[in-house]
Structure 1
Amino acid sequence: MTIARFNYVTPVRFGFGALSVLADELGHLGVGRFLLVTDPGIVEAGLVERVTAVVKPAAIFDQTPSNPTEAAAIKALAAFREAECDGVVALGGGSSIDLAKAVALLATHSGVLADYVIGGGSADAIGPTSPIIAVPTTAGTGAEVGRAASLTLRNGTKAACVNAHLIPRCAICDPDLTLSLPPMLTASTGIDVLCHGIEAYFSSTFNPPADAIALDVVSRSARSLPEAVRNGNNRDARSEMLLAAVMGGMVFQKGLGAIHALTHPLGALGYPHGTLNAIVLPHVLAINEKLAPARATELKSALDNVSGKSLSVWTNDFIAALGLPQRLSALGMTRDGFSDFAEKAEREHLNKTNPRPLTAAEFLTILEAAY
């Protein structure tokens, strides 16, 4: 039997008003000068001022792309070095948090990101990085407690650096910062949370504590997401979704599956990650609930209003009710490159922990069905 590892180590400060402890947490880490990494939407929403009212950054990089890139990380690294920073604070969704992780890595390691990615470099070579504090403004990726940084490299491929040294040293999770999130972005990021719970529970890795958390993620997000989309000012729904997102990030250590294995390479096209997950989710579940029927039954028990439906049908109906796109063609995508994306998905490290790794032919069938 393989020796399992259970690891829940990220300090999380959670609750309305949690942003107020940012200065204290920087002090605990010994960070005196930090780079604030964020994006234009966060600036426009006035959330940067919420941070600067608490503590002043030494520099601000506010040009994080919607899908983070190595090129942007290099620009942010220049700002980090010019201001002589000794830490990074990420303010935003998964894109800003992943970019901040890349900056912290590059600031302390030689070479380029490709040297440290899964499947092409040596992720095990990643050592201690500059301290990172993550302040999420969406309830979605769980990157604030995760060990992965996914970016599009300079060669155009999307790849992930995965190592425990990339886990933020603290996650400050303040639901106040999510209240202004627009409905469709709330839905898209929220479906990512649901996917994390579903995929982690289906994962072939042995980790019973993560299984229990994953079931709670599924139940909590399915119950709270519709209300968060309908009424973004519902503080209870926003708090529940952010909590589900944090817990969804905690179960990444169990591995995900074919949904993310496919949407990660598709993400290099620039489409929103959560929306891609929403479109692909029912089609992957149609396969996985047959590969692991007992797990599918247990997942259904965590949901309301299943009433004899399969998981794939339930998720299809749930996504439709949220108003999210349900076809890749609705995003403006063409079939060009489907075979290449299917082959990349088969090689993705996340495919290894699907109940059974899917083949390129199966991924191609999923893409055609989702088109």
Structure 2
Amino acid sequence: MQLNYFNRPYFENGAIKKISDILKNQEIKNPLICTDPGLSSIGMTDQIRNLISDEFSSTFYEETPANPTEKAVMDALELYKANCCDGVIGFGGGSSIDLAKAVALMANHDGNLLNYSVNEGGYEKITETMPMIAIPTTSGTGSEVSVGSLITMNDGRKLIFASPHLIPNAAICDPELTIGLPPVLTAGSGMDALTHCIEAILSPINDPPAEAVGIDGIEKIIKEESLIKACKDGQDKEARWNMMMASTEGAMAFSKGLGAVHSMSHALGANQELRLHHGTLNAVILPSVLRFNKDHVGNKYSRIARAMGKNESTDLANEIEKLNGDIGVPSNLGEMGVTEDMIPKLVAHAITDPSNLTTPRLPSQEEWEKLFLECI
């Protein structure tokens, strides 16, 4: 199957076998492959290493942290330059792909990484990057087709980098790479995909095609019970296929924006001591924001309920809480180590997050505080 949206995702079981051909198509001879210690420890980096033809000279950066940092970007960039690389591959979850995007950016852009963040007007500063290929091994972020990258900076802020030039030149979406992903990661990444679909639909930006894609993603995740099935049986190929497609659809949908859930999860994800999983944060926060937005989104809740296969009057927040319980997601942020004394710093971060530009209801400072407190 060949999808055409922003880039060229090669979406099918076994698509990873096309890696050498895709490198040729992108005219990459010396790729830097950004991945993480977890994939290296279970031999998945060896798999891609063996699939890449000997005509290519590959360099591996295998230290991507759970939430990619500015330091990790610069370490990988140093490796890129030292080995005369001419392109980047992000192989792993959203963290590895986001890191790879930042490396591809800084490989041919001058100055500090911070200058290219959305907060610093970076959208207009980013031009064509070095060629980059995304190979997701989880079904959640959809970073393989999105314009964005999330990086935790040296000053502690988790910032968004966004530009059409950050969309990977190609994406290899092979659902079989997610088979065997542990239930806890399947659940967290799957809820990330669901949150993308829901927040994109709730964005006030008028983009019916993007909303339709988001609706289909919700149907796959909830109505068809693909997330529950994938969590219960990691070998379920149909469920894995549906979840990877829903993940890709979620990122396609949020071309129209996200909202307060992501503003809050970005703030929490910046904490380098807790090292919280982004998708799991979204899952825990989503019910509270759904209740907060309820009277500010027209008939969109009834449309989402239909996509879930539920009655139009269904309480969406309650449904998400039930789903979280079924797949083993923590019931609150307190269980994840978040405490009330963190709220002032979290609010200060959330208030400045660019996701607020497309939230259907912008919280006041007091409302941000109440939302965080409710989630704890």
TM over 0.5: yes
**Match for residue 3 of structure 1?**
none
Question: Is the CA contact 2:203–2:359 (under 8 Å) kept in the aligned structure 1?
Answer: yes
Matched, 1:317 2:322: yes
Count matched residues.
Answer: 365
Distance 1:63 1:16 in 2: 27
Distance 2:260 2:269 in 1: 14
Deviation at 1:307, TM superposition (A): 7.8
More moved, 335-344 vs 11-20: 335-344
1:86-101 aligned within 5 A: 86-101=86-101
**Cα gap change, 1:115 to 1:43, in 2 (>3 Å):** same
Distance 1:172 1:361 in 2: 44
**Match for residue 33 of structure 1?**
30
Question: Is the CA contact 1:139–1:245 (under 8 Å) kept in the aligned structure 2?
Answer: yes
**Cα gap change, 1:364 to 1:65, in 2 (>3 Å):** same
**Cα gap change, 1:364 to 1:99, in 2 (>3 Å):** same
Matched, 1:45 2:42: yes
SS in 2 for 1:341: helix
User: What TM-score, normalized by structure 1, do the two folds share?
Assistant: 0.96
- Name the amino acid aligned to 2:242: E
Distance 2:11 2:312 in 1: 35
Identical amino acids, percent of aligned pairs: 38
SS in 2 for 1:232: coil
**Match for residue 61 of structure 2?**
61
Deviation at 1:352, TM superposition (A): 1.6
**Match for residue 340 of structure 1?**
345
Question: Is the CA contact 1:42–1:48 (under 8 Å) kept in the aligned structure 2?
Answer: yes
- Name the amino acid aligned to 2:65: P
SS in 1 for 2:119: coil
1:16-165 aligned within 5 A: 16-55=13-52, 57-165=57-165
SS in 2 for 1:159: strand
Deviation at 1:362, TM superposition (A): 1.4
Distance 1:310 1:172 in 2: 37
Deviation at 1:122, TM superposition (A): 2.5
Cα RMSD between the aligned structures?
Answer: 1.3
SS in 1 for 2:205: coil
Deviation at 1:305, TM superposition (A): 4.3
Deviation at 1:173, TM superposition (A): 0.4
Match of 2:294 among 276, 289, 296: 289
Deviation at 1:306, TM superposition (A): 5.0
**Match for residue 15 of structure 1?**
12
Cα-to-partner distance string for 1:220-279 (whole Å, 9 max, x where unaligned): 112210000000000000000001101111122100111001111110112110111111
Deviation at 1:309, TM superposition (A): 2.9
Distance 1:311 1:293 in 2: 14
Cα-to-partner distance string for 1:317-336 (whole Å, 9 max, x where unaligned): 11111111011110112122
Matched, 1:265 2:267: yes
**Match for residue 247 of structure 2?**
245
Distance 2:364 2:57 in 1: 47
1:177-192 aligned within 5 A: 177-192=177-192
More moved, 132-141 vs 51-60: 51-60
SS in 2 for 1:302: helix
Distance 1:175 1:119 in 2: 34
Question: Is the CA contact 2:29–2:57 (under 8 Å) kept in the aligned structure 1?
Answer: no
Deviation at 1:81, TM superposition (A): 0.5
Deviation at 1:293, TM superposition (A): 3.9
SS in 2 for 1:139: coil
SS in 2 for 1:88: strand
Deviation at 1:346, TM superposition (A): 2.3
Matched, 1:201 2:201: yes
SS in 1 for 2:118: coil
**Match for residue 232 of structure 2?**
230
Question: Is the CA contact 1:289–1:311 (under 8 Å) kept in the aligned structure 2?
Answer: no
**Gaps in structure 2 of 5+ consecutive residues:** none
SS in 2 for 1:309: coil
SS in 2 for 1:324: coil
SS in 2 for 1:48: helix
SS in 2 for 1:102: helix
Distance 2:230 2:58 in 1: 35
Deviation at 1:120, TM superposition (A): 2.4
Distance 1:304 1:318 in 2: 14
Distance 2:130 2:30 in 1: 11
- Name the amino acid aligned to 1:201: I
**Cα gap change, 1:57 to 1:45, in 2 (>3 Å):** farther
Cα-to-partner distance string for 1:12-38 (whole Å, 9 max, x where unaligned): 101111001111111111111100100
Deviation at 1:119, TM superposition (A): 1.6
- Name the amino acid aligned to 1:171: A
Distance 2:359 2:143 in 1: 20
Distance 2:251 2:42 in 1: 25
